[in-house]
Structure 1
Amino acid sequence: MLDLGPQTREVKALLDGIGDDQLAAPTPCEAYSVGDVLSHLLGLSLAFTDAAKKNLGASTDQNPDGGLPPLPEDWRRRLPAQLDELAAAWRSESAWEGETQAGGVTLPGDLAGVVALNEVLLHGWDLARATGQDYRGDAASLEASIGMLSQADSMEMRGTIFGPVVDVPGHAPPLDRAVALSGRSPDWSPASR
């Protein structure tokens, strides 16, 4: 079992640093603006909370390619609460056992937990980069993310969920390695797009 709490807290710490004037700004996740990443985090935090609780239904059935709803006005209140609920749900041993569903895909609970963690880690990095904020990866979170992303080719995720691996030096920090394995450039900045 992994604790999603350290990474969800890191993402929550970014939220006060995001101005309304930044919501339309680009992010390293090419198809998403800052507002889109926030909307995606709202959706995935709910879906993966339900996946942990095995409350399968509308939230866990929805394919992420189905489009994003508009960012609600109360996102600053809702997202921190949903991130807390996400971390709490994955503290239960039963979340990591058996099968569950997320994004319309049935998968083992232990893999779903790592996918949830990876989503929070990477989209937090997207927000930090796009809004000029510092961001850290929790050591255990980074290890799990790198492990999963290193196997993306064998899990047929490369090209559908993740882009081609970006080359980084062997001595690159773990966060840079995770970002690069996801298909993002660790040196991305709004000016470089």
Structure 2
Amino acid sequence: MNVDLSPQTAEVARVAAGVRDDQLTGPTPCPDMSVAALLEHLVGLAFAFKMAAEKTPVDGPPQVDAAHLPADWRTRLPEHLDALAAAWKDPAAWEGMTAAGGVDLPGPVAAVVALNEVTVHGWDLAVATGQQYRPDQAAVEACLEMVGDRSDPSQDPEGLFGPVVPVPDDAPRFDRLLGQTGRDPGWTPSG
């Protein structure tokens, strides 16, 4: 299933544009990750998964270090997000194998992993900075399918997500995705 990453990358670019300098040291739903570290991670993963789409992967996983946030992140991140979405519009990106973060993946899997990273970390950034977040429903469905039901810890790939956060059975689909990826949909910066 080829999914358009553009609606979600545009939403994350919109959220990033609303981040104030005084919020960079603030907490995020990701343990031990500041807003600046999350932005640096988004810059790196957008670039890495664009390169994966082009079948020219970069070595190793994207960094997660606030000290490495590029000074030009306000322009670089939206550019990388646009390039990421554009790269996955090429049908060749979805064919064969590629690699991202030092892991070999089939093209379609890499695309949905990229989409999940952007979708979920976009929410992390929005709630950490007090902004509204509008996830693309097609992205949410594709991510839920990829993440699956993680209620059985023996079936869970180590290190990809935090522990499942239970959400009500009738919770919105996006809240279910957040819970499956280890996030509390009610998280706020104040705890």
Q: Same fold (TM over 0.5)?
A: yes
Shift of the 127–87 alpha-carbon distance from structure 1 to 2, 3 Å rule, reads same
2:31 is matched with 30
The unaligned stretches of length 5 or more in structure 2 are: none
Q: Is the 8 A contact 1:27 1:34 kept in 2?
A: yes
For residue 98 of structure 1, the aligned residue among 86, 96, 99 is: 96
Corresponding position: 1:130 with 2:128: yes
For residue 70 of structure 2, the aligned residue among 68, 72, 76 is: 72
Q: Is the 8 A contact 2:149 2:180 kept in 1?
A: no
For residue 116 of structure 2, the aligned residue among 109, 113, 118 is: 118
Corresponding position: 1:178 with 2:177: yes
Distance 2:102 2:108 in 1: 17
Q: Is the 8 A contact 2:38 2:64 kept in 1?
A: no
Offset at residue 12 of structure 1 (A): 0.8
1:143 is matched with 141
Offset at residue 149 of structure 1 (A): 1.2
Distance 2:11 2:75 in 1: 16
Q: Encode CA deviations 1:134-162: one digit per residue, 9 max, x unaligned.
A: 001111100011111115668742x4111
Distance 2:64 2:91 in 1: 32
Q: Is the 8 A contact 1:51 1:101 kept in 2?
A: yes
Shift of the 51–151 alpha-carbon distance from structure 1 to 2, 3 Å rule, reads farther
Distance 1:13 1:107 in 2: 29
| Number of residues of Structure 1 aligned to a counterpart in Structure 2 | 187
CA RMSD of aligned residues (A): 1.6
Q: Is the 8 A contact 1:136 1:175 kept in 2?
A: no
Partner amino acid for 1:100?
T
Distance 2:118 2:55 in 1: 20
Distance 1:43 1:151 in 2: 28
Partner amino acid for 2:186?
D
Q: Is the 8 A contact 2:97 2:105 kept in 1?
A: yes
SS in structure 1 of the partner of residue 98 of structure 2: strand
Distance 1:155 1:87 in 2: 30
Distance 1:17 1:62 in 2: 30
TM-score, normalising length from structure 2? 0.93
Q: Encode CA deviations 1:12-57: one digit per residue, 9 max, x unaligned.
A: 111221110100100001121100110001100110000000013x
TM-score, normalising length from structure 1? 0.92
Q: Encode CA deviations 1:95-123: one digit per residue, 9 max, x unaligned.
A: 11100000000011100000000000011
Distance 2:41 2:32 in 1: 12
The unaligned stretches of length 5 or more in structure 1 are: none
Partner amino acid for 2:26?
A
1:13 is matched with 14
